[in-house]
Amino acid sequence: MIPLQKRRRPSSETEPDPDKYQPHLKKAKQQTTAFRLGNWQEYEGSCPVYKQPKELISYSIDHDRKVWFDNREMKYYYPPGLKNEKLDLNVGYERFLQRDESILEHIDTLLDALTEYKTRQSNNTIAESEVHADIITWRGIMTKILCTPYSRKDAWEFRATRYNDKIFIEEQSLKDKDVDSESERQKLMSYWGYRFETICTVSKAPHEINSHPENRKELVDRLNQSANTNVQYCVVVKTKLGDSTIIMGAEVDCCRDTKPNDPVRQPSNYIELKTSRVIETERQQLSFDRYKLLKFWAQSFLVGVPRVICGFRDDEGIVKSITEFKTMEIPRQVRRHENQTTWNPSVCLNFANQLLQWIRTNITVNSATTTYAIDFKYPFREIRLYCTDDSNVFLTQRFIRGRVQHEIGGERAH
């Protein structure tokens, strides 16, 4: 059994006050708007503009899920030696510490990071415009949107709120995605992904490890270490897709060498770590290029992570090889299959651009306590959007008030 770090839901996180119910919004609930999903070919054509993402702020979440607006949990890439060590991803499974996913964390840390960023700026007007975006969300949500033209049976459901003319979007967890229903094999394979991160990263910059022999102990210790998904390092980036400005929060696995002093002007040197089964046949290569590389590319491209490093493992969880992919070269690489369709980044970006514009047009009520549902479900022909009034309010009251706290959770907007 996996030891779960149980945490209690903060008592202040209560259901919305029924007295605050706004009867004039009730009508909106009945109206569902639909975006018809065309064949992927309908989204071909020239690529919309995608601005180089700029990092506004980074933050860390420690082993107690406490939030710190600094880089204390940022890891550095330091590859393990494949020759001397057997890289077994199963090691430490019985010690795996998993974040308690039954606690809804909404977009609390992203909102706190934006407030923190604003308070750090000397010029309020500039700061206000810098944290303004048409869409504010997690990178994972944007990844799902980008992949939708090619993942036509992967359901998703989001919640959205328009407040101060910014549209905040978070995930509404789907009931059939219950962690408890995951098979033991799926849980183990999910652990392999985290364990790969453990054996590929260190807490100090590589030059500090190499120049101080006492720091080399970490290189050996990590080979016996388990994973802890409570610990995260995240960035908040700003970009623009077509006509929509977007602010995204994203977890970053590690950094190569040192982080640039000026992340706004200097290119990022983050690395996304992945695992995948070793490729032995042409058919497996096609499947990897079609499905895995699409997700690898979308996830990293969105926030400007330039490299994806993938550990190829066998069915027993032993890493056999490690390959680096340059994010910007992935779309060219998947064209290697003659007469076989893979995917085209323009399709993903054109679709996402149109969908975001449609969301912006149809989310009309500008209120922190009005929520909309946006979903893509069976029979997967359209994306639906409808107002759910004041149920499932997710913005925090402290965000409205311009305050931050180190604990995730707390009062929702009212």
| Residues near ligand A3P, by CB under 6 A | 190, 193-194, 196, 253, 274-275
3-state secondary structure of 171: strand
Is 345 within 8 Å of 328 (Cβ atoms)?
Answer: no
Of the candidates 225, 183, 233, the residue with the CA atom closest to the CA atom of residue 73: 233
Least distance to ligand A3P, CB of residue 105, Å: 15
Is 276 within 8 Å of 292 (Cβ atoms)?
Answer: yes
Of the candidates 376, 413, 332, 353, the residue with the CA atom closest to the CA atom of residue 111: 413
237 CB-near residues (< 8 Å, 6+ apart): 53, 54, 55, 56, 247, 248, 250, 303, 304
Q: Please report whether residue 298 would count as binding Mg ion according to CB under 5 A.
A: no
Least distance to Mg ion, CB of residue 395, Å: 28
Piece of the chain touching Mg ion by CB under 5 A; list 7-15, 18-26, 60-68, 253-261: 253-261
Of the candidates 317, 272, 220, the residue with the CA atom closest to the CA atom of residue 75: 272
Q: Please report whether residue 73 would count as binding Mg ion according to CB under 5 A.
A: no
Which residue shows structure tokens 């311009």? 402
Least distance to Mg ion, CB of residue 73, Å: 15
Q: With respect to ligand A3P, which residue has the nearer C-beta, 299 or 371? A: 299
Piece of the chain touching Mg ion by CB under 5 A; list 38-46, 55-63, 271-279, 381-389: 271-279
Tell me how far CA of residue 170 lies from CA of 11, 100, 197, 261, in angstroms.
22, 18, 26, 31
By a kind-dependent CB cut-off of 5 to 8 A, residue 306 interacts, out of ligand A3P, Mg ion, none, with: none
By a kind-dependent CB cut-off of 5 to 8 A, residue 190 interacts, out of Mg ion, ligand A3P, none, with: ligand A3P
Least distance to ligand A3P, CB of residue 192, Å: 6
Q: With respect to Mg ion, which residue has the nearer C-beta, 268 or 370? A: 268
Q: Please report whether residue 253 would count as binding Mg ion according to CB under 5 A.
A: yes
Q: With respect to ligand A3P, which residue has the nearer C-beta, 275 or 396? A: 275
Q: With respect to ligand A3P, which residue has the nearer C-beta, 190 or 397? A: 190
Least distance to Mg ion, CB of residue 52, Å: 22
Residue whose C-beta lies closest to ligand A3P: 193
Q: Please report whether residue 273 would count as binding Mg ion according to CB under 5 A.
A: yes
Least distance to ligand A3P, CB of residue 193, Å: 2
Rg, the chain, Cα only: 22
Q: Which amino acid is at 127?
A: A
Dihedral sign (CA 401, 360, 239, 328): positive
**Contacts to Mg ion by CB under 5 A:** 253, 273
